[in-house]
Amino acid sequence: MTTIATVSVIGAGQMGVGISHAVALGGYQVRLYDLNPDRLPLAVGEIAANLARQVVKGRIDQAQADAALGRISTASTLAEIGKADLVIEAAVEDETVKKALYAELTPMLGADTIVASNTSSISITRLAAATDRPDRFIGLHFMKPAPVMGLVEIVRGIATSAATYETAVAFAESLGKTTTNAEDFPAFIVNRILVPMMNEAIFTLYEGVGDVTSIDKALKLGANHPMGPLELADFMGLDVVLAIMNVLYDGLADSKYRPCPLLVKYVEAGWLGRKSGRGFYDYSGAVPVPTR
């Protein structure tokens, strides 16, 4: 097994920020990179704010927060991050974008560096084939928000070695996470089940069976879900929900995975949920208000 001490995270969006937070709190040196360098100081500020929130809630103490923040640095080039023991890619959920990134990253990697993708749906085998190390490539799918959620899906590609898998499991467990092994099929386990449920909720709205409030209330109270499916879709990002549905629809060729036209329309309008300020709810006020 490879010994992990340094971890690079590619992508300073919501998932990259959360993963960096969790990994630094786990005691690892973290270097964060984003294609947009202006995003990096904002990302570090978000991590600091989230750590402070954990201190207020009593989940960690101030010394732990300060130590974790001190383990995080930023990088302006892929060359600066490639020599880490583990590189976690948390770029946008787009296979073309990820493969282009790997083409640029691969020459910068150390000989023993393991590459992991945080993809929530795309084939690990295909992504691994875009690198020079399919045996040292694996899926590490953190749930959102990464510092809070207890699960990491471990996804092996067809060429992933046993040593890489064992290292990935040990790494995730060292962060206090529970791991589950998922086979390399579209959307793996969690999103194979969860995202079609959201899509069905959107169809329920689209067909007028219930409004936003009724649908979310029904699942929260009737199925004891902590968040309603439309609320959860907004939290995940409607563009991400659509991307996963497209992966399922294309990969499994089953009409039950057809994205709801209303979901497509919202994404085309730029109504992506919480991150854009509007989705199935409008987040511009103190309390989210349904948009339908």
**Which of 117, 121, 123, 153 is flagged as catalytic?**
153
Beta carbons of 30 and 24 less than 8 angstroms apart:
yes
Calpha distance 30→59 (Å, rounded): 21
Domain boundaries, the chain: 6-182, 191-290
What is the residue-averaged pLDDT of the chain? 96
> Is the CA virtual torsion 186, 187, 193, 196 positive or negative?
negative
- The stretch 221-250 carries a mean pLDDT of 96
Told to judge if 181 belongs to the known catalytic residues of this protein, a careful annotator would answer no
**Which of 8, 118, 191, 199 is flagged as catalytic?**
191
pTM exceeds 0.75, yes or no? yes
Told to judge if 183 belongs to the known catalytic residues of this protein, a careful annotator would answer no
**Which of 120, 121, 123, 199 is flagged as catalytic?**
120
- Check whether 1 has a pLDDT greater than 90: no
- Determine the CATH number of domain 191-290: 1.10.1040.10
Told to judge if 153 belongs to the known catalytic residues of this protein, a careful annotator would answer yes
- The stretch 163-177 carries a mean pLDDT of 97
pLDDT of 184: 96
- The stretch 142-167 carries a mean pLDDT of 96
Calpha distance 68→25 (Å, rounded): 5
- The stretch 269-280 carries a mean pLDDT of 96
Told to judge if 46 belongs to the known catalytic residues of this protein, a careful annotator would answer no
Residues 110-151: tens digit of each pLDDT = 999 999 999 999 999 999 999 999 999 999 999 999 999 999
Confidence of residue 2 (pLDDT cuts 50, 70, 90): confident
**Which of 21, 121, 141, 231 is flagged as catalytic?**
141
- Check whether 171 has a pLDDT greater than 70: yes
Q: Can 6-182 and 191-290 be said to share one CATH topology?
A: no
Q: What CA–CA distances, in Å, run from 153 to 115, 116, 138, 206?
A: 15, 12, 10, 32
Class of domain 6-182: alpha beta
3-class DSSP state of 114: strand
Beta carbons of 114 and 160 less than 8 angstroms apart:
no
Residues 68-105: tens digit of each pLDDT = 999 999 999 999 999 999 999 999 999 999 999 999 99
Q: In this structure, are strands 137-142 and 151-156 parallel, antiparallel, or unpaired? A: antiparallel
